[in-house]
């Protein structure tokens, strides 16, 4: 089935957000090969490449040209922030204001569009990645796995992580809650798939300072046996 870009909400995150999600620093990434999967309209890859760190991004939207992605990205941001009352349930320690939250989205989109090219941004559709074994030192995956556990089943999650570990020595995934944070008041507030992954892979849940969704201040670090 052909992908319709108009049906996709295109958003991106900044390097500062990725650093907070995954407890990263520019110095800590020096000398490493990094894959952002999925990368969307994030500026993470652009920022790393500007700092002489080898990075690539993969996403299903990269089958489209720059202008089409930019137009849909602007529409998506406008739509998301038509009504910002949804943010009232979130913690604003990192962003401080709703305006700053939107600024990160716009800034990420602009830097991504300025840097968009076919060498660094590659079309791919999980659970398959077009890279050889051990192509990367670290793979970062934000806002896909676990977030949409109502649409993507456990086999998709498991097979995607296996593929990620094939191409990268280490995988980090954020966040660990679903899109609506629907289990926030439960003892086990993460997606049920998180607890299955903990049984099937060698991994660790790591607490971070970044907390936007309540009780979602954790990422999952996975490595090979």
Could you tell me what percent of the chain has a pLDDT over 70? 99
Give 14's contacts (C-beta < 8 A, 6+ positions apart). Answer: 42, 43, 44, 47, 104, 107, 108, 111
* pLDDT over 90 percentage in the chain: 96
Q: Assign 3-class secondary structure to 48-82.
A: HHHCCCCEEEEEHHHHCCHHHHHHHHHHHHHHHCC
Q: Place 6 in a pLDDT band, splitting at 50, 70 and 90.
A: confident
Average pLDDT, the chain: 97
**pLDDT higher than 80, residue 158:** yes
Query: From the CB of residue 80, how many other CB atoms can be counted at a distance below 10 Å?
Result: 16
Q: What is the average per-residue pLDDT within 72-76?
A: 97
Would the pLDDT of 3 be above 80? no
- The pTM assigned to this predicted structure is 0.97
Report pLDDT for 2: 61
Q: What are 78-116's pLDDT values in tens digits?
A: 999 999 999 999 999 999 999 999 999 999 999 999 999
Total number of domains constituting the chain: 1
Q: What CATH number does residue 130 fall under?
A: 3.40.50
**Tens of pLDDT along 183-209?**
999 999 999 999 999 999 999 999 999
Can you give the residue range of the structural domain that contains 136?
5-223
């Amino acid at each position: 089935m052909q992908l319709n870009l108009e049906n996709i909400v295109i958003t991106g995150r900044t390097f500062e957000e990725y650093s907070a999600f995954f407890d990263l620093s520019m110095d800590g990434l020096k000398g490493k090969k990094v894959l952002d999967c999925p990368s969307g309209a994030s500026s993470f890859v652009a920022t790393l490449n500007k700092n002489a760190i080898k990075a690539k991004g993969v996403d299903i939207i990269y089958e489209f040209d720059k202008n089409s992605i930019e137009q849909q990205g602007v529409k998506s941001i406008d739509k998301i922030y038509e009504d910002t009352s949804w943010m009232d349930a979130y913690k604003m320690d990192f962003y401080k204001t709703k305006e700053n939250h939107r600024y990160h989205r716009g800034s990420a989109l602009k830097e991504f569009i300025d840097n968009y090219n076919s060498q660094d941004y590659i079309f791919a559709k999980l659970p398959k990645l077009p890279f050889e074994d051990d192509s990367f030192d670290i793979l970062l995956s934000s806002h896909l796995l676990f977030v949409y556990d109502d649409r993507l089943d456990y086999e998709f999650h498991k097979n995607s992580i296996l593929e990620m570990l094939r191409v990268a020595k280490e995988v980090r995934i954020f966040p660990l809650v679903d899109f609506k944070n629907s289990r926030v008041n439960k003892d086990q507030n993460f997606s049920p798939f998180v607890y299955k992954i903990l049984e099937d892979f060698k991994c660790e849940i790591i607490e971070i300072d970044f907390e936007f969704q309540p009780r979602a201040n954790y990422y999952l670090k996975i490595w090979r046996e």
